[in-house]
Structure 1
Amino acid sequence: MPLIKNSATLQTYREVRGLTRGIAVLRALNAMPGGIGGVSDLARSTGLHRTTVKRLLETLKTEGLVHQKDDGASYALGFEVRRLSEGYVGASWIDRIASPAMHAHLRALSWPSDLATPDSGFMIVRESTHRVSLLSQHRATIGIRIPMLVSSLGRAWLAACAPDEREATLSLLRERSDSIGEHARDDAYVKRVLRETRRRGYAVNKGEWLSEASVTAIAFPIMADTQAIGAINLVLRRSVVTDREIAVQYVPLLRTLAEEISKGASRLGRN
C-alpha cells in the first residue's frame, strides 16, 4: 500500500515578525551594560523604529520579561527572562564541569574566556566569563557563531579532532562562496594553520577574525579521553598584553584550565 502523506505535514509557515522583533529587542537589551537600555539605544542596536521598539517593550513589560526603571526612560530585563531559562538543559559536562571551572579560574586569568563546541562548520559559544570579567569588551557572547579557520577556538578544535570530523567540517566550509569558503579551499593555508597549531601546542589568532581585529586569542582543545569535544579560549587586548606575557603567563594558566575541564569531561563520560 502506498504511503499517503498528510498535506498538513508538508505545510510551511511564515515566521511571526512581531515575535522575531521582540526577541531582537531582548537580545539587544541583554547585550547592554547591566542589561539596561533606553528606547533610542535599542532602536539603534536593532535597526527598528523607535515607535516599534516602544510598543515591543510595553508588550514585553506586560509579560514580565522587562521592567521600566524609576527614571521612566530606560528598561531592564525582568525576572521572567530567568524563569524561561530554568527549562534549558545543557550538555552535562559544560554545566557540571566547564562552567564551575571557568569561573573558579577567572581570578587568575583576569581576561575573559569562551568555551565553544563545533556545529555545522562553526564554533558555537556555550559558556563564557565575558559577563563577569572586568576586562571584557563584550557582555553577551553565548550563542555566537565563531568561524573555524580564523579563530583560536576553531583552530584548536580542528587541530585536535579526528581526521574524519576535520574533513567533514572542511568539506562543508569549502562549499561556501564567501571568504570562509576561500580559506577552506586553500589547502596550503589550512595545512599551515594546523601544522603551526600542533607545533606550538595551542591555537592563536591575532586579528585574523576581522570583526575582532583588536584582540589576540589563544585556545586549547577540550578532550574527552581521545575525542575533541570543544575548545576554550582566552581573549586579550593586543594593545595591552605582549606576546611574551601571553606565552609565559597566560598560556600555562589556560592550559591548566583546559586540562581540568578535559579530565572532568572524561571522568563524567565513563560514569
Structure 2
Amino acid sequence: MPVSASFGDSTLYREVRGLSRGLAVLRALNAMPGGIGGVVELARVTGLHRTTVKRLLETLKTEGLVHHKDDGLSYALGFEVRRLSEGYVGADWIDRVAAPAMRAHLRALSWPSDLATPDGGFMIVRESTHRVSMLSQHRATIGIRIPMLVSSLGRAWLTWCADEEREATLSLLQERSDAIGEMARDGAYVKRVLRETRRRGYAMNKGEWLTEASVTAVGFPIRIGEHAIGAINLVLQNNAVTDREIAMRYVPLLRTLADEISQGAASSPRG
C-alpha cells in the first residue's frame, strides 16, 4: 500500500463511528438543563437506539466523562469534560508558574514538595522537588498516582474543588473494591475529613497512607477563584519534626508558595 499520501488528507480515513456517537451523546447531555439527562431523553435527541446510548454512557462513565446522579437513572457531565478544554493551559501554568516557584522556595522549605492534579480518582504528580531536595527519600515522583482520601494532596483538592467535581470523584471512588472504596462509601468519614481540613485551613496526613506510613505531609489547594484545580504538599518524616514546628514554620511557608502558584495560574493566558 502506498504511504506517500499526506496525513492532512482526511479522505484516506474512515469515520470512527463509535467515537462520533459518543461525542453526540456528550453534546446532547451538555445541551440539557444542568447537563443532566436519562437514556430515553438522550436516545430521542440523538436518534440512537436506547441500548446504544446506554452502552455509550457506561463507557463515558468509565472514563470519568459522565457519572450517575443520585436517582441512579440519570447521567450528568463529569469534571473530566471540563478538564478536556483546560489541558493545554494546565500544562502551561505548571511549567511556567509552578515549577520555577517550587524551585525558588525550596531553600526555605528544605523538605520536598509535589504538585498534583486530579485524574481518575487519584492525584497525579505533575511537578516535584524530590529530585533536588537533600531531605527527600524519593528521587522519582513525577507521574505517580497518589491516593485521594489518605493523602494531603487528595484531601486538599477534595476540600476546595467544585462541588460537582467532588461528587463525581467520590462516586468514582465508591465503586472501588479496595480500602479506598470502603472509605469513600463511609459518608461520615468523608464528611469528617473535609470538615477538619476546611477548619484547619490546610490538609494533613500523618501515616494514613500505609505505603508511606513514616511520612507526615501537609497540603494546600492550588486555586483559580474559589475552586481548586490541583494541590501542593510538603513531605516530612514523622520523627524529624514536631507538630508545633510544622504548624508554626512550614505551614506558613507552604501557604505562601501555594498562593503564589494560584495567583500565577489565575493570570495565565487562556484561549
Report if TM-score (shorter chain) is over 0.5. Answer: yes
The one-letter code matched in structure 1 to 2:94 is: I
Q: 3-state SS of the aligned residue for 1:265?
A: helix
In structure 2, the partner of 1:199 is: 199
Q: Does the 8 Å CA contact 2:89/2:270 hold for their aligned counterparts?
A: no
- 1:194 and 1:227 map into 2 onto residues whose CA distance is 14
- 1:9 and 1:218 map into 2 onto residues whose CA distance is 47
TM-score (norm. length: structure 1): 0.67
The one-letter code matched in structure 1 to 2:241 is: V
- 1:250 and 1:137 map into 2 onto residues whose CA distance is 18
Q: Does the 8 Å CA contact 2:122/2:146 hold for their aligned counterparts?
A: yes
Q: Does the 8 Å CA contact 2:160/2:226 hold for their aligned counterparts?
A: no
The one-letter code matched in structure 1 to 2:192 is: R
Q: Does the 8 Å CA contact 2:89/2:268 hold for their aligned counterparts?
A: no
Amino-acid identity (%): 79
1:222–1:89: structure 2 CA closer, same or farther, 3 Å change rule? closer
In structure 1, the partner of 2:115 is: 115
In structure 2, the partner of 1:92 is: 92
In structure 2, the partner of 1:13 is: none
Let me know the Cα RMSD of the aligned residues: 2.2
**Following TM superposition, by how much is the alpha carbon of 1:226 offset from its aligned partner in structure 2, in angstroms?**
2.5
- 1:228 and 1:94 map into 2 onto residues whose CA distance is 14
In structure 2, the partner of 1:133 is: 133
- 1:216 and 1:227 map into 2 onto residues whose CA distance is 25
- 1:9 and 1:160 map into 2 onto residues whose CA distance is 39
Q: 3-state SS of the aligned residue for 2:137?
A: coil
Question: Is 1:160 matched with 2:160?
Answer: yes
- 2:112 and 2:233 map into 1 onto residues whose CA distance is 8
Q: Does the 8 Å CA contact 1:102/1:129 hold for their aligned counterparts?
A: yes
The one-letter code matched in structure 1 to 2:126 is: R
What whole-Å deviation, never above 9, does each CA across 1:2-61 have from its counterpart, x for those lacking one?
xxxx8x999xxxxxxxxxxxxxxxxxxxxxxxxxxxxxxxxxxxxxxxxxxxxxxxxxxx
Q: 3-state SS of the aligned residue for 1:229?
A: strand
- 1:9 and 1:161 map into 2 onto residues whose CA distance is 35
1:159–1:269: structure 2 CA closer, same or farther, 3 Å change rule? farther
- 1:225 and 1:132 map into 2 onto residues whose CA distance is 31
**Following TM superposition, by how much is the alpha carbon of 1:269 offset from its aligned partner in structure 2, in angstroms?**
4.5
What whole-Å deviation, never above 9, does each CA across 1:125-148 have from its counterpart, x for those lacking one?
000000000000000000000000
**Following TM superposition, by how much is the alpha carbon of 1:90 offset from its aligned partner in structure 2, in angstroms?**
7.0
In structure 2, the partner of 1:21 is: none
Contiguous gaps of at least 5 residues in structure 2: 1-13, 19-87
Q: 3-state SS of the aligned residue for 1:268?
A: coil
Q: Does the 8 Å CA contact 1:224/1:269 hold for their aligned counterparts?
A: no
In structure 2, the partner of 1:174 is: 174
In structure 2, the partner of 1:69 is: none
Q: Does the 8 Å CA contact 1:126/1:142 hold for their aligned counterparts?
A: yes
What whole-Å deviation, never above 9, does each CA across 1:233-261 have from its counterpart, x for those lacking one?
00000001000000000000000000000
The one-letter code matched in structure 1 to 2:156 is: A
**Following TM superposition, by how much is the alpha carbon of 1:224 offset from its aligned partner in structure 2, in angstroms?**
1.5
- 1:103 and 1:129 map into 2 onto residues whose CA distance is 7
In structure 2, the partner of 1:142 is: 142
**Following TM superposition, by how much is the alpha carbon of 1:168 offset from its aligned partner in structure 2, in angstroms?**
0.2
Moved beyond 6 Å, runs of 4+: none
1:196–1:125: structure 2 CA closer, same or farther, 3 Å change rule? same
What whole-Å deviation, never above 9, does each CA across 1:147-195 have from its counterpart, x for those lacking one?
0000000000000001110010000000000101000000000000000
1:269–1:228: structure 2 CA closer, same or farther, 3 Å change rule? farther
In structure 1, the partner of 2:259 is: 259
What whole-Å deviation, never above 9, does each CA across 1:201-256 have from its counterpart, x for those lacking one?
00000000001000100000000122311000000000010000000000000000
- 2:227 and 2:189 map into 1 onto residues whose CA distance is 24
Q: Does the 8 Å CA contact 1:117/1:123 hold for their aligned counterparts?
A: yes
In structure 2, the partner of 1:241 is: 241
TM-score (norm. length: structure 2): 0.67
- 1:164 and 1:89 map into 2 onto residues whose CA distance is 21
1:104–1:153: structure 2 CA closer, same or farther, 3 Å change rule? same
Q: 3-state SS of the aligned residue for 1:134?
A: coil
The one-letter code matched in structure 2 to 1:186 is: D
The one-letter code matched in structure 2 to 1:255 is: R
